[in-house]
Amino acid sequence: MTHKHRVRQAFDRAAAGYDAAAELQRRVSDLLADRLPEPTPRRLLDAGSGTGYGLRLLAGRWPGAWCVAADFARGMAERSGGVCADLEALPFADGSFDLYWSSLAYQWCKAARAVAEAARLLAPGGRLAVSSLGPGTLVELAASFEGVDRHRHVRGFAPAEELVAACAGAGLADIRLETRRLTHYLPDVRTLLEELKALGANQVGADRRRGLLGRDAWRRIERRYEQQRQAQGLPATYEVILCLASKPSS
């Protein structure tokens, strides 16, 4: 099974319960929206729309804009009222949008391909706003799993520089980058894993093992994670990448 097929399956399964577990996604969408400049776009795209939180946020800010959603997973696209499509090959004409928005979808894509497609879709003077996850994501979980077996249980994420390089390579200008570390606190390791599963992000893209870990392995993982407990609970850190750019007017 290909990486893209695993991603689609995971997010299709997660669509029904996604919103209940999507606090991080909402926080990141709000951060990205706060950084958008004020000129009103006439046509905007939410690429990787999930269940539509970002689309509703943008539509509320610019009620006169023509808003379109697209997501790779059919279950997500149906919930956002969008089209089911790959961010690396979207079914829209060149120059179709004044704003290309994508929040927490690029970590599942090849950045160079997705940004090149975004640049194609933007009209001259159009703006790109993207958030993704960096390599400092879920470091506590990765440390707890380290050495348990030969498999990688936590997916690696590309550094922010890769997204900047993709924007420059696609001919975009005025590139602005910001990284933020957001920490989410949970009562225990199993709650974190259940939340990741509800978001469709459990082990997607990792070198997944076949079969379940044994009881002794789980105890070791839980003991390691407990050593990182803080007053608020067990920390789960997310390195959030925020990137803005624009397409030259000529």
Q: Is residue 71 part of a domain?
A: yes
Q: Is residue 91 part of a domain?
A: yes
Residue 83 forms beta bridges with which residues?
70
Residue 200 forms beta bridges with which residues?
none
CB atoms within 10 A of CB 241: 28
Backbone angles phi, psi at 90, to 5 degrees: -90, 145
DSSP 197-222: HHTT-SSTTS-PPSSPPPHHHHHHHH
**Residue span of the structural domain in which 65 resides:** 3-140+158-183+241-246
Q: Is residue 215 part of a domain?
A: no
- How far apart are alpha carbons 67 and 62 in whole angstroms? 9
pLDDT digits (tens, 9 = 90+) for 119-146: 999 999 999 999 999 999 999 988 888 8
Give Cβ neighbours of residue 217 (< 8 Å, ≥ 6 apart): 148, 149
Q: Which segment of 6-10, 13-17, 22-26, 61-65 scores lowest on mean pLDDT?
A: 13-17
Residue 5 pLDDT: 53
- How far apart are alpha carbons 142 and 147 in whole angstroms? 10
Q: Is residue 145 part of a domain?
A: no
Q: For residue 23, what is the DSSP state?
A: H
Under the banding of pLDDT at 50, 70 and 90, the label for residue 151 is low
Does the pLDDT at position 2 exceed 60? no
Give Cβ neighbours of residue 7 (< 8 Å, ≥ 6 apart): 72, 73, 108, 200, 204, 205
pLDDT digits (tens, 9 = 90+) for 173-211: 999 999 999 998 989 988 888 877 765 555 444 455 444
Q: Is residue 226 part of a domain?
A: no
Residue 156 pLDDT: 79
pLDDT digits (tens, 9 = 90+) for 221-242: 899 999 999 999 999 999 999 9
Does the pLDDT at position 38 exceed 70? yes
- How far apart are alpha carbons 166 and 158 in whole angstroms? 12
Q: Is residue 152 part of a domain?
A: no
Q: Which segment of 23-37, 57-71, 213-227 scores lowest on mean pLDDT?
A: 213-227
Q: Which residue has the higher pLDDT, 73 or 199?
A: 73
Share of the chain above pLDDT 90, in %: 60
Residue 24 pLDDT: 85
Under the banding of pLDDT at 50, 70 and 90, the label for residue 34 is very high
Does the pLDDT at position 7 exceed 60? no
Q: Which segment of 30-34, 93-97, 218-222 scores lowest on mean pLDDT?
A: 218-222
CB atoms within 10 A of CB 138: 24
Average the pLDDT over 32-52 and give the result: 93
CATH number, domain containing residue 35:
3.40.50.150
- What pTM, to 2 d.p., does this model score? 0.86
- How far apart are alpha carbons 13 and 39 in whole angstroms? 37
- How far apart are alpha carbons 143 and 137 in whole angstroms? 11
Number of domains making up the chain = 1
- How far apart are alpha carbons 86 and 84 in whole angstroms? 7
Average the pLDDT over 65-78 and give the result: 92
Both tokens of residue 138?
A: 């879920």
Q: Is residue 234 part of a domain?
A: no
Q: Is residue 232 part of a domain?
A: no
Residue 224 pLDDT: 93
